[in-house]
């Protein structure tokens, strides 16, 4: 009997610890700042920044696809003149999701490409103009200066910092450097198609004091989820996420069958 009581006490203690950790992590990932919401009928300029290899260019296409499905007139501008193949990659992605694209094989000044592309799409009445910049590290001062120049020219309504989930705690210094250089408004975490990783997410939020807006969960253009701190933490800790499960069921099944499936 004594063993049973101890076993129950141990289970309750473990449950209490997990709940406390989950609550604390959720609080760390929750920022008291409303995420950017584009307005219909006006140009909303969204500038993407991030480290090299973070999946930024693919995320631009996912972001364009997300808002396109919500009936926004969406387009993309490639101002990455640093990475070989960046122009072709974004152009191919634009063709796949059927959104207009602007870039140049010959112009080498990203600031000029950004100015020209944004102005063109403004005149044509596009509602979400996505500006994909070169990937860069905080040690590359010339590229950081270039990023600031692009920001000054296009005057974005939102700047999104894109980070690779596998970078972990190393993200903090990089995210801090981006935040000091330009007014980062939100974060997108990429490559979360495996098990959820948390260190980088916590670092990004801490460094930018900005909400995580989306997470990339796969290779398809539709694999971009709105971020929910509680659900993310539950996945991170391996907890059963019934709230997320019900949302998935609700999206798939007709209303009459939802309760039956849950029960």
Return the structure tokens found at 179.
């935040």
Q: Is the per-residue pLDDT at 187 higher than 80?
A: yes
Q: How far apart are CA 139 and CA 136, in angstroms?
A: 8
Q: How far apart are CA 229 and CA 28, in angstroms?
A: 9
Mean pLDDT of the chain: 84
CB atoms within 10 A of CB 98: 10
Q: What are φ and ψ of residue 50, in 5° steps?
A: 165, 180
pLDDT, residue 2, reads 47
DSSP β-bridge partners for residue 224: 216
Q: Look at the domain 39-227 and name its fold.
A: Rossmann fold (3.40.50)
pLDDT, residue 261, reads 47
Give pLDDT tens digits for 93-115. Answer: 999 999 999 999 888 899 999 99
pLDDT, residue 3, reads 46
Global pTM value: 0.83
> What residue ranges do the domains of the chain occupy?
39-227
212 CB-near residues (< 8 Å, 6+ apart): 29, 186, 187, 188, 189, 201, 204, 205, 227, 229, 232
Treating both helix axes as pointing N-terminal to C-terminal, what angle do 171-181 and 199-208 enclose, rounded to 10 degrees?
20
pLDDT, residue 256, reads 56
Confidence of residue 1 (pLDDT cuts 50, 70, 90): very low
């Amino acid at each position: 009997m004594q063993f049973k009581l101890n076993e129950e006490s141990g289970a309750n203690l473990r449950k209490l610890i997990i709940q406390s950790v989950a609550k604390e992590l959720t609080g760390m990932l929750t920022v008291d700042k409303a995420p950017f919401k584009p307005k219909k009928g006006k140009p909303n300029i969204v500038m993407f920044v991030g480290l090299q290899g973070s999946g930024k260019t693919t995320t631009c296409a996912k972001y364009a696809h997300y808002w396109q499905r919500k009936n926004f007139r969406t387009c993309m501008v490639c101002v990455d003149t640093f990475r070989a193949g960046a122009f072709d990659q974004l152009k191919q992605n634009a063709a796949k999701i059927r959104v207009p694209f602007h870039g140049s094989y010959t112009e080498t000044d990203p600031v000029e490409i950004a100015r020209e592309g944004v102005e063109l799409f403004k005149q044509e009445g596009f509602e979400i103009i996505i500006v994909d910049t070169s990937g860069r590290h905080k040690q590359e001062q010339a590229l950081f200066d270039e990023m600031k120049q692009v920001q000054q020219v296009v005057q974005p309504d939102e700047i999104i910092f894109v980070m690779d989930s596998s970078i972990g705690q190393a993200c903090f210094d990089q995210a801090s450097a981006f935040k000091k250089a330009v007014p980062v408004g939100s974060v997108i975490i990429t490559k979360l198609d495996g098990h959820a990783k948390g260190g980088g997410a916590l670092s990004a939020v801490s460094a930018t004091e900005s909400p995580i807006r989306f997470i990339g969960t796969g290779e398809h253009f539709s694999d971009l989820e709105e971020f929910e701190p509680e659900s993310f933490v539950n996945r991170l800790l391996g907890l059963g996420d019934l709230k997320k499960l019900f949302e998935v069921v609700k999206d798939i099944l007709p209303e009459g069958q939802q309760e039956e499936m849950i029960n």
